[in-house]
A and B are shown apart, each in its own frame.
Chain A
Amino acid sequence: MQSKSSVPLLSVEDLRIAVGQRGHQKEAVRGISFDLGSGQTFGIVGESGSGKTLTVLAISRLLPSAAQVTSGKVYFKGEDLIRASSTRLAEIRGRQISVVFQDSLTSLNPVMRIGTQVREPLLLHRLADRQDANAAAEEELRRLGIPDPSRAMTGYPHEFSGGMRQRAMIAGALIASPELIIADEPTTALDATVQAQIIDIWSTLNSELGVALILVSHDLGVVSEVCDTVAVMYAGQIVETGPTRLLLSNAKHPYTEALLESMPSATTIGTYRLKAIPGEPPMLGALPSGCPFHSRCRYRQEFCVSREPRLEQVGDRKVACWVAQERGELPAATAKVADAPRTPHSASAITSGALFKERPTKELLILDKVTCHHLMPNRWPFLPPARVHALDDVSLTVQKGEVLGVAGESGCGKSTLARCVLRLTDIDEGRIVFRGEEISSLGGEALRHVRRHMQPVLQDPYGSLNPRARVTEIVEEPLLAHGIEQKQRQDRVAEVLDLVGLGIRFGRHLPHQLSGGQRQRVGIARAIALNPELIVADEPISALDVSIQAQILNLFRDLQRQLNLSLIFISHDLRIVRYLSSNIAIMFLGQIVEYGSGEDICEAPLHPYTVALLSSVPVMEERAGRQRIVLSGEPPSPISPPSGCRFRTRCPYAAAICAEIAPELQQMPSGRRVACHFPGVSGTPNGGERGPRLAAN
């Protein structure tokens, strides 16, 4: 793909953006420059606060009122958009540049029909009359794989799922055939399998329509699946930019390299600590001197502290790093292959196998056919409430010192599982046995006593800490609840704060004075304060920044080993679950569909849903002959699950029997259990080649 003329489609020159009120302005974007030819795809990657969103909002002149462009130029086809009048901008927006936002629920107007919103650009720019616009909108919806587009036209946003709304937003962005689409985190709010569908749409958009694309994301994986060129932003600047493949295979900026190494891949397991980036991203207006990354950089030299590097050409790309500029690459580029966290099979056998096969085991927690249905009040009075099948017939065991991973999409019942184990939700049927004692019907004082031995770590580091309590009070709470004396309480609080890497100096802080990672450390300290035997962690890192996630994962790993904790680790991301867990349970719509050792499940999945989850993980390396399923459609409603196998409506291999008989969770020879009539069908050579892969509906 090359640009037709010498003038690039979009050219950003030394863009600087400041945020805050006058007098207190802080520079959030500090001199960004890049060119984009027509038909090219450009990805911008960075953590929250890196300035990536501000940059693209400035291009379309949609900056919030608190932010201002202080200097720089944005040329779109030779025209400076920063100085363009608002009438001129209105002509360009939607017609030549379209923007797709992250949250489709808030960025679609809830009181307008989908069709009206999709066709709007055509009418605004007088490109078609009402009738033609409707026809075009319907066609666009069909092309993006929305089932029954003529009905979707008259629907309202809340009637659609997240994936469908995202499609409708893309339809609206595409309808006036713009030359440039800007997408800000367009898949972040979506479930893994739906995200895979949307990524597929973005990739085909460019190749089929030749529209130029700027994709902003915190996830290098998403960007690398879609974009030819990528820029990594840190502290308001591009630190490395170049062709995606080169950048991913051989990073030349320490930050890019650290990002790539800090996240586990589907084959990484907890034998190694993750190479987490130490520290936190710098705060706005409090940048360190010299290179903004120097305090977290492993290659730091003396002059990095005093002088700030500029973005300069280094071989095949541009890098802003003194070390890389001097040597042409990073020093450890060759050495790091040796100790990469990719695990050889022998090592994985030692951890995942030996941990609970050879050692005499003690069953700490047994779930036996646990069923939990939530009742939703019926809209009509006197009619029976609707039943949400949150958990159906779930059986599993956790051994002493074992880490059990639970993975699945939202609505699969994994959080209900956590709540049931912790006895925060009552179960309808089945038994929960903890430390040899049936706890499913305990109440009052007896339950309080049991809770001493199991503690939760909750998902949202912002919502799970009492905003009015100081750190010591939060960590002290469980100790107080179980009547431990004051002197011991103080000692224990200091001890666990140390264990989680915070230290007592944070004791007087209120939660809002801490960063997300620090808050989650407080949450973990609270959980281990009573020295429990079981910790239930429900999505504990999904709300954190990429570079912080690895730190918290390492913390979990270390604490688990140090304290010989049993851990139930719940996540939507199979990579993360795999890293920590010896056993994994995959859940779909309230049921366990596959349950076995982490190695078995990730190396040789048998259930088609497991395969789909694994292949929905955006990977940065080539998929070497891996089977890949992109599921069509959305998870079915847990209020009225499909008959027979609940997965059949999305399963590319479903046969007649699947609609009639629900498959049992059957033991396979390898020791794992699968609930599928055709286990391994996606892995067989003829079935796995491509399978009868359905286009989106």
Chain B
Amino acid sequence: MTISIVHQPDSIIRRSLDRLAHDPQLAISVALIFAWMLAIAGAGILAPASPLAQNVLDRLQPPSLGHPFGTDQLGRDVFSRVLYGGRASVPAAIAVVVMGASFGTIVGGLAGYGGRVTDEFLARLTDMMLAFPVLVLAMAVAAALGASLIHGVVALTAVWWPQYVRVCRGLVLELREREFVTASKASGRTSIAILFRIILPNALPTLLVMAAIDIGRAILNFSILSFLGLGARPPDPEWGSMVSSGAEVMDQWWVATFPGLSILCLVFAFNLLGDSIRDAMDPWVGGRR
């Protein structure tokens, strides 16, 4: 028996590089995110001053060579504070998404693949959670725990998972009827093995796209919490609380504008990334050839 077509499976790295070269949107988003990560990680080297160092004589200076983004009410260098502020906002947002998505995926998987009673219980619980506006609930949790960076993350995670339950449950309900799942069942696999080894890996691409887009939203929401005084505590720099304090001195536009632009830029980059990943995963848009 001769079999004429033999494809060589490409390596993942090869394919990823290939894709970067052919997808400018992806390249831009990856470059932006990469640049921000470097800047945040290298804040200690890049920042001209300590983010906490006050200099009352230099308060509310407009952007200049010495202070590229100007200074705030207490004479702190806004540029340094933006760089250090990223160290709070970005890891916090990623933590919220990772924890929320993992928890939601597992709950959604159990709801979709468990029995009817499990499904009804988990699905109704999720519906209940989704009925509350995310921010209001997060504010309630954060307020109850007391304002701090960690509590902000906990509060957001607590309201972040239900949407993943929804999506994951739907995916699992569809996947469980597929023939390869039937084949697995007939081969004698246990239900829990089928859920975690067969079904969830197939649901993962969709959930990953959702998570990538979500990181932007989490940065935004975390900043809002901080803006409202429920996230990072002053004097620690954080983008949301910086915008908040900048809003008190509207005439000195630079105090609120630069942290705000940082939020905009990173949220934009993560949205672009999610969009590109979705296109890459979708065979109709031309992901696989």
Interfacial residues, chain A to chain B (CB-CB below 8 A) = 278-280, 282-283, 286, 295, 422, 424, 448-449, 451-452, 454-456, 458-460, 463-469, 477-478, 480-482, 501-502, 505-506, 508-510, 512-513, 515, 518, 523, 526, 530, 551
Chain B, 177-208, CB within 8 A of any chain A CB: 178-180, 182-190, 193, 198, 201-202
Bound together, the chains give a CA A24 to CA B288 distance in angstroms of: 15
B115 on interface, CB distance cutoff 8 Å: no
Bound together, the chains give a CA A505 to CA B3 distance in angstroms of: 11
Given A458-B182, A464-B180: A515 and B188 interface contact (C-beta under 8 Å): no
> Across the interface, which residues of A come within 8 angstroms of B188, CB to CB?
448-449, 451-452, 478, 481-482
> Across the interface, which residues of B come within 8 angstroms of A458, CB to CB?
179, 182-183
Q: Are A523 and B193 in contact (CB under 8 A)?
A: no
B144 on interface, CB distance cutoff 8 Å: no
Partner of A518, one of B3, B182, B202, B288: B3
> Across the interface, which residues of A come within 8 angstroms of B179, CB to CB?
458-460, 463-464
Min CB–CB distance A187 → chain B (angstroms) = 25
Given A512-B288, A513-B9, A515-B5: A463 and B180 interface contact (C-beta under 8 Å): yes
Q: Are B2 and A466 in contact (CB under 8 A)?
A: no
Given A458-B179, A508-B9, A513-B9: A424 and B186 interface contact (C-beta under 8 Å): yes
Bound together, the chains give a CA A477 to CA B188 distance in angstroms of: 9
> Across the interface, which residues of B come within 8 angstroms of A510, CB to CB?
9
Min CB–CB distance B193 → chain A (angstroms) = 7
Closest residue on chain A to residue B187 by CB atoms: A478
Chain B, 140-187, CB within 8 A of any chain A CB: 178-180, 182-187
> Across the interface, which residues of A come within 8 angstroms of B3, CB to CB?
279-280, 501-502, 518
> Across the interface, which residues of A come within 8 angstroms of B202, CB to CB?
466-468
B1 on interface, CB distance cutoff 8 Å: yes
Bound together, the chains give a CA A464 to CA B181 distance in angstroms of: 8
> Across the interface, which residues of B come within 8 angstroms of A295, CB to CB?
2, 4
> Across the interface, which residues of B come within 8 angstroms of A467, CB to CB?
180, 202
Partner of A477, one of B178, B187, B288: B187
Min CB–CB distance B99 → chain A (angstroms) = 24
Q: Are A282 and B9 in contact (CB under 8 A)?
A: no
Partner of A464, one of B183, B193, B288: B183
Q: Are A455 and B6 in contact (CB under 8 A)?
A: no
Residue picked from A469, A482, A501, most chain B C-beta under 10 Å? A469
> Across the interface, which residues of A come within 8 angstroms of B184, CB to CB?
466, 477, 481
> Across the interface, which residues of B come within 8 angstroms of A480, CB to CB?
189
- Could you list some 8 contacts between A and B, CB below 8 A? A278-B1, A279-B2, A280-B3, A424-B182, A454-B186, A466-B198, A468-B202, A478-B187
Which are the 6 A-B pairs with shortest beta-carbon distances?
Answer: A478-B187, A464-B179, A513-B7, A451-B188, A481-B188, A463-B179
Closest residue on chain B to residue A529 by CB atoms: B187
> Across the interface, which residues of A come within 8 angstroms of B7, CB to CB?
509, 513
Bound together, the chains give a CA A31 to CA B244 distance in angstroms of: 71
Bound together, the chains give a CA A30 to CA B207 distance in angstroms of: 44
Closest residue on chain A to residue B175 by CB atoms: A466
Bound together, the chains give a CA A480 to CA B188 distance in angstroms of: 9
Min CB–CB distance A390 → chain B (angstroms) = 16
Q: Are A455 and B186 in contact (CB under 8 A)?
A: yes
Bound together, the chains give a CA A222 to CA B8 distance in angstroms of: 39
List 8 additional A-B contacts (Cβ < 8 Å) besides A480-B189, A512-B288: A460-B179, A465-B183, A467-B202, A478-B188, A481-B187, A481-B190, A481-B193, A509-B9
Bound together, the chains give a CA A459 to CA B183 distance in angstroms of: 11
Closest residue on chain A to residue B288 by CB atoms: A512
Bound together, the chains give a CA A456 to CA B184 distance in angstroms of: 10
Q: Are B9 and A424 in contact (CB under 8 A)?
A: no
Q: Are B183 and A523 in contact (CB under 8 A)?
A: yes
Closest residue on chain B to residue A477 by CB atoms: B187
Bound together, the chains give a CA A509 to CA B7 distance in angstroms of: 8
Q: Are A451 and B4 in contact (CB under 8 A)?
A: no
Q: Are A456 and B186 in contact (CB under 8 A)?
A: yes
Min CB–CB distance B254 → chain A (angstroms) = 48
Given A451-B188, A512-B288: A280 and B183 interface contact (C-beta under 8 Å): no
> Across the interface, which residues of B come within 8 angstroms of A551, CB to CB?
1
Min CB–CB distance B11 → chain A (angstroms) = 11
Given A468-B202, A508-B9: A282 and B183 interface contact (C-beta under 8 Å): no
